[in-house]
């Protein structure tokens, strides 16, 4: 059934994929954004220019069946948006993140009912992103109750990826020579293709509450075989940490930060039961693109190789 949907954002990566999925499903869209990213991407879609942190008056006197908020990071922004749309949208879809959980050391700590972070003046800077998203969730839940849908993605990859976390590996494995790979072949990896996430977000008409949305956990070895394989040199996590490599972003897809042992072992069974479908890894590898600068350069790889093999 065709619905009228207000999309907050809608022209960058996930927002773009959501708009594509909604248009393909025949929905009637209105985009609300500042026009800073790909402003001419959807010339036939109604677009309202505005800054949610300054003035939402352009949304006055309008109604929509649903709002999909792809750009919610600060609770104050979401509170203003919720207030401006009060009584004029049927449901609120807030794209959140699995980073909201207070415990990433266990799978149980990342179930949808598990405790989430609190945003306070004492929040650890490393937790500000997740705590901010958790606070945004509470604003929407307080206002919409069971008309709130909170998809919580893990690592998002695929076409138009603004990062180099996933795309690094198929690109690197396409080049000859030894390839430095962090950790162990059995280390877990989890991701969700942006198109599969978008389809779940758009298609969740009757869903409410939180849903973890990522793919099944696989091993780093499996992922790299799908990316083409090659002359892989596995460098132990302990050595990388001792060498001072950043345990979160130092090497793409390597997670070795304390307290994040289960970051790639998130249970997504609730979303799968609710209709989440996942395309083959080979399709994601084939279609993944990025405009980002390399996050792990050839010089960095050579430097680590020289130190490790010396």
> Residue 152: is its pLDDT beyond 90?
yes
pLDDT digits (tens, 9 = 90+) for 226-271: 999 889 999 999 999 999 999 988 999 999 999 999 999 999 999 9
Give yes or no: residues 208 and 224 share one domain. Answer: no
Describe the chain by its helix, strand, coil percentages, rounded to 5.
35, 20, 45
Same domain, 51 and 199: yes
Mark whether 50 and 89 lie in a shared domain. yes
pTM above 0.85, yes or no: yes
- Higher pLDDT among residues 122 and 6, named by residue: 6
Which domain, by its residues, includes 122? 4-156+194-213
Instruction: Check residue 291 and give its pLDDT.
Output: 83
Q: Are residues 9 and 115 in the same domain?
A: yes
Average of pLDDT values for 47-66? Answer: 93
Q: Kindly tell me if the per-residue pLDDT of 158 is higher than 90.
A: yes
Residues 125 and 237 in one domain: no
Tell me, yes or no, whether 132 and 172 share the same domain. no
Average pLDDT, the chain: 95
Same domain, 286 and 171: yes
Confidence (pLDDT) at 126: 87
Total structural domains in the chain? 2
In a domain, 234, yes or no: yes
Q: Is residue 293 part of a domain?
A: yes
Look at residue 61 in the predicted model and tell me its pLDDT: 87
pLDDT confidence bin for 1, thresholds 50/70/90: confident
Provide mean pLDDT across the span 55-75: 94
Task: Say whether both 52 and 122 belong to one domain.
Answer: yes
Residues 182 and 302 reside in one and the same domain = yes
In a domain, 62, yes or no: yes
- Bridge partner residues of 30 (DSSP): 6, 46
CA distance 241 to 250: 10
Whether residue 138 is found in the same domain as residue 180: no
Same domain, 167 and 148: no
pLDDT above 70 covers a percentage of the chain that reads 100
């Amino acid at each position: 059934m065709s619905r009228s949907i207000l999309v907050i954002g809608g022209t960058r990566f996930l927002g773009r994929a959501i708009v594509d999925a909604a248009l393909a499903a025949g929905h009637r869209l209105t985009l609300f954004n500042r026009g800073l990213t790909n402003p001419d991407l959807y010339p036939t879609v109604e677009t309202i220019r505005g800054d949610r942190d300054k003035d939402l008056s352009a949304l006055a006197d309008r109604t929509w069946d649903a709002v999909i908020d792809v750009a919610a990071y600060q609770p104050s922004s979401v509170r203003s948006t919720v207030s401006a749309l009060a009584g004029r949208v049927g449901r609120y879809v807030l794209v959140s993140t699995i980073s909201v959980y207070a415990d990433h050391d266990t799978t149980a700590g990342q179930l949808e009912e598990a405790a989430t972070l609190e945003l306070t003046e004492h929040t650890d800077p490393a937790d500000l992103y997740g705590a901010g998203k958790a606070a945004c969730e509470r604003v929407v839940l307080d206002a919409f109750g069971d008309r709130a849908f909170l998809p919580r993605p893990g690592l998002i990859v695929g076409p138009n990826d603004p990062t180099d976390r996933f795309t690094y590996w198929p690109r690197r494995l396409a080049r000859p020579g030894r390839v430095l790979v962090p950790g162990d072949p059995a280390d877990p990896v989890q991701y969700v293709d942006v198109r599969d996430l978008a389809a779940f977000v758009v298609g969740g008409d009757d869903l409410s509450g939180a849903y973890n949305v990522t793919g099944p956990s696989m091993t780093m070895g499996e992922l790299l075989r799908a990316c083409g394989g090659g002359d892989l040199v596995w460098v132990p996590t302990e050595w990388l940490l001792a060498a001072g490599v950043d345990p979160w972003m130092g090497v793409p897809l390597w997670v070795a930060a304390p307290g994040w042992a289960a970051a790639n072992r998130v249970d997504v069974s609730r979303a799968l039961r609710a209709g989440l479908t996942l395309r083959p890894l080979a399709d994601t590898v084939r279609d993944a693109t990025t405009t980002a600068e390399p996050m792990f350069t050839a010089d960095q790889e050579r430097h680590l190789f020289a130190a490790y093999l010396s």
